[in-house]
């Protein structure tokens, strides 16, 4: 799983730049156009679920599309707020309106961030009919009193919710799931970076050697899209061995891995070992039922073991959900690093297994089998220590990740050692549990 980091960085940034101007929401043509652009990186199967369809405890809402929106000076006709210059200017799911009103009448519909006077906030009103505009506090302060023409040319009509899926077939039906939300408008880190990392990982896996696990990528609108996917795939959830939501992977913050609800799932262990082995600055946080779609996957009826990988943590950095989360806030290099970490986690999950020492009574004679110095690139002492750890803990219960965690040795060296010992007939598959 190696690739030229510069070309990955370029490809990631190009995709983010292409997706950035599109006005996305939980439904509508913006999501369709975004999925079409992702399909240029990795082929997606596109699904449409009609408005009104019940999904778990929810219902697919009417489809929202917006063609234009502005607030214009009633006298000069000059647009003082223009959706065309930045799609964050409109509250997502705003109902249509065309009216003339005073600034005071308009104020309840205007959203700003007084503490960040230069930033435009991101606001939604998916399930309550409303309309509104978002603007910087500076721009609001500069609006003179007077009359304004307010226009939102939007539609809320029966349509459908759109999501995309890519499946990289493995040797088995056991699955690793990678999930990214595709419902945010012009916000680069949250979550175009997650989308780009997921799409490029899918492409890398499709072009690489086949894994044991099938890897399924879901590009769905947050909450309602994932709920719709879960509703339609209940029978397949037991195949999912591990999963990750990907978000905010293009900024300069250290990595954060957020654990699954149980905290001891395979993906939790793999993420912890991979970040440790690579000596990457990171924090591990416990699950909380907030954040992204990990909370749907981890809900008590499903308990699909899905963790979350991010750099900046949602809600904790000032650019989050504002116009400051723009193309300057993310970089292709950061996304390429993130992609390597995610690929490492997927690889560790895929290569992890429990083995059984076939000479478990005392220590097998390594020298007689030519195993001293048999591993290149490490000192004899390191290689011998790795063999002793793997032989000792390969009781059919401990996995290779368990051995890496317990011994402090890298997963890579534990895995290479296990392959060597298997070749020499000292390890075999763990017996199936009865
Ligand atoms: Zn968000």
pLDDT tens digit string along 348-393? 999 999 999 999 999 999 888 988 766 665 666 778 899 999 999 9
Q: Give the distance (Å) from ligand 1 centre to CA of residue 238.
A: 28
| pLDDT-based confidence at residue 434 (cuts at 50, 70, 90) | very low
> Ligand 1 centroid vs 179 CA: distance in angstroms?
14
Query: Phi, psi (5° rounding) for residue 298?
Result: -85, 5
Q: Give me the CATH code for the 64-157 domain, please.
A: 3.50.30.90
Share of the chain above pLDDT 70, in %: 96
Torsions phi, psi of 108, nearest 5?
-60, -15
* Nearest in space to 244 (alpha carbons), one of 277, 209, 213: 213
Q: String of b and e for 265-297 (b: at least 16 CB within 10 Å)?
A: bbbbbbbbbbbbbeeeebebeebeeebbbbbbb
Long-range contacts of residues 6-10, Cβ cutoff 8 Å, at least 24 apart: 6/336, 8/200, 8/332, 8/335, 8/336, 8/339, 9/331, 9/332, 9/333, 9/335, 9/336, 10/332
191: CA distance to ligand 1 center in Å? 7
For residue 432, cis peptide bond before it (omega within 30 degrees of 0): no
What residue segments make up the domains of the chain, in order of their start? Answer: 5-61+160-351, 64-157, 354-429
Give distance in angstroms: CA of 185 to centre of ligand 1.
10
- Asked whether residue 131 carries a pLDDT value surpassing 90, the answer given is yes
Averaged over 138-162, what is the pLDDT?
A: 98
- Give every CB contact of residue 256 below 8 A, 6+ residues apart in sequence: 282, 283, 284, 285, 309, 310, 311, 312, 313
Q: List Cα–Cα distances, 77 to 48, 149, 151, in angstroms.
A: 40, 8, 12
- The neighbour count for residue 105, using CB atoms within 10 Å, is 13
Token pair 């647009």: residue: 79
Contact in structure between 97 and 133 (CB atoms under 8 Å): no
Is a pLDDT exceeding 90 seen at residue 346?
yes
Read off the pTM: 0.96
For residue range 51-69, list pLDDT tens digits in order.
999 999 999 999 999 999 9
* Distance (Å) from CA 324 to ligand 1 centroid: 13
Average confidence score pLDDT of the chain: 96
224-261 exposure pattern, b = at least 16 Cβ within 10 A, e = fewer: bbbbbbbbebeeebebbbbbbbbbbbbbebebbbbbbb
d(CA 382, ligand 1 centre) in Å: 45
Cα of 414 vs centre of ligand 1, distance in Å, is 38
Average pLDDT over residues 246-271: 98
- Taking Cα atoms as reference points, which of 79, 56, 52 lies closest to residue 68? 79
CA of 190 to the centre of ligand 1 (A): 5
- Residue 322 Cα to ligand 1 middle (Å): 10
Angle between helix 5-19 and helix 29-39 axes, rounded to 10 deg:
160
Ligand 1 geometric centre to CA of 184 (Å): 7
Look up the CATH superfamily of 5-61+160-351. Zn peptidases (3.40.630.10)
pLDDT at residue 407, rounded to an integer: 97
pLDDT, one tens digit per residue, over 88-125 is 999 999 999 999 999 999 999 999 999 999 999 999 99
| Ligand 1: centre distance to CA 249 (Å) | 13
User: Residue 193 C-alpha to ligand 1 middle, in angstroms?
Assistant: 12
Q: How close is the Cα of 20 to the center of ligand 1, in Å?
A: 14
Q: What is the predicted pLDDT for the residue at 374?
A: 60
What digits encode the pLDDT tens for the residues 271-322? 999 999 999 999 999 999 999 999 999 999 999 999 999 999 999 999 999 9
| Proportion of the chain above pLDDT 90, given as a percent | 93
Instruction: Report the separation in Å between the CA atom of 292 and the middle of ligand 1, taken as the mean of its atom positions.
Output: 8
pLDDT at 367: 85
Residues 128/15, Cβ–Cβ less than 8 Å: no
CA distance 378 to 368: 20
Secondary structure (H, E, C), the chain:
CCCCHHHHHHHHHHHHHHHCCCCCCCCCHHHHHHHHHHHCCCCCEEEEEECCCEECCEECCCEEEEEEEEEEECCCCCEEEECCCCHHHECECCCCEEEEEEHHHHHHHEECCCCCCCCCECCECCCCCCCCEECCHHHHHCCCCCEEEEEEEEEEECCEEEEEEEEECCCCCCEEEEEEECCCCCCHHHHHHHHHHHHHHHHHHHHCCCCCCEEEEEEECCCHHHHHHHHHCHHHHHHEEEEEEECCCCCCCCEEEECCCCCCCHHHHHHHHHHHHCCCCEEEECCCCCCCCHHHHCCCCCCCCEEEEECCCCCCCCCCCECCCCHHHCCHHHHHHHHHHHHHHHHHHHHCCEEEECCCCCCCCCHHHCCCCCCCCCCHHHHHHHHHHHHHHCEEEEEHHHHHHHHCCCHHHHHHHHHHHHHCCCEEECCCCC
CATH code for residues 354-429: 1.10.10.10
């Amino acid at each position: 799983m190696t690739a030229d980091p510069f070309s990955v960085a370029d490809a990631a940034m190009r995709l983010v730049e292409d997706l950035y101007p599109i006005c996305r929401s939980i439904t509508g043509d913006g999501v369709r156009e975004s999925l079409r652009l992702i399909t240029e990186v990795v082929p997606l199967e596109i699904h449409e679920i009609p408005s009104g369809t019940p999904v778990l405890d929810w219902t697919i809402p009417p489809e929202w599309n917006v063609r234009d929106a502005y607030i214009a000076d009633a006298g000069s006709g000059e647009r003082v707020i223009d959706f065309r210059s930045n799609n964050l200017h409109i509250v997502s799911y705003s109902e249509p309106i065309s009216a003339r009103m005073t600034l005071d009448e308009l104020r309840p519909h205007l959203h700003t961030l007084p503490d960040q006077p230069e930033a435009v906030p991101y606001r939604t009103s998916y399930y309550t009919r409303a309309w509104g505009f978002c603007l910087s506090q500076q721009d609001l302060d500069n609006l003179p009193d007077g009359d304004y023409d307010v226009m939102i040319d939007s539609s809320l009509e029966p349509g459908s919710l759109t999501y995309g899926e890519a499946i990289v077939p493995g040797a088995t039906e056991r699955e690793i799931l990678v999930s990214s939300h595709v419902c945010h408008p012009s916000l680069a880190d949250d979550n175009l970076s997650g989308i780009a990392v997921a799409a490029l990982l899918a492409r890398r896996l499709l072009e690489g050697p086949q894994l044991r696990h099938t890897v399924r990528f879901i590009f769905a609108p947050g909450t309602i899209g994932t709920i719709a996917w879960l509703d339609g795939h209940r029978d397949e959830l037991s195949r999912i061995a591990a999963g990750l939501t990907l978000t905010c992977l293009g900024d300069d913050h250290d990595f954060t891995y957020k654990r699954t609800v149980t905290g001891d799932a395979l993906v939790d262990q793999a993420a912890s070992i991979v970040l440790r082995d690579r000596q990457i600055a990171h924090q591990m946080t416990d699950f909380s039922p907030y954040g992204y779609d990990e909370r749907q996957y981890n809900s008590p009826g499903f308990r699909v073991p899905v963790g979350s990988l991010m750099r900046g943590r949602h809600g904790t950095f000032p650019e989050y959900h504002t116009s400051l989360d723009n193309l300057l806030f993310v970089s292709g290099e950061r996304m390429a690093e993130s992609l390597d970490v995610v690929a490492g986690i997927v690889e560790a999950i895929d290569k992890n297994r429990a083995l059984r020492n076939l000479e478990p009574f005392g220590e097998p004679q390594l020298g007689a089998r030519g195993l001293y110095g048999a591993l290149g690139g490490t000192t004899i002492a390191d290689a011998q220590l790795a063999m002793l750890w793997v032989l000792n803990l390969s009781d059919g219960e401990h996995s290779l990740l368990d051995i890496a965690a317990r011994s402090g040795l890298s997963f890579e060296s534990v895995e290479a050692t296990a392959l060597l010992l298997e070749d020499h007939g000292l390890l075999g598959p763990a017996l199936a549990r009865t």
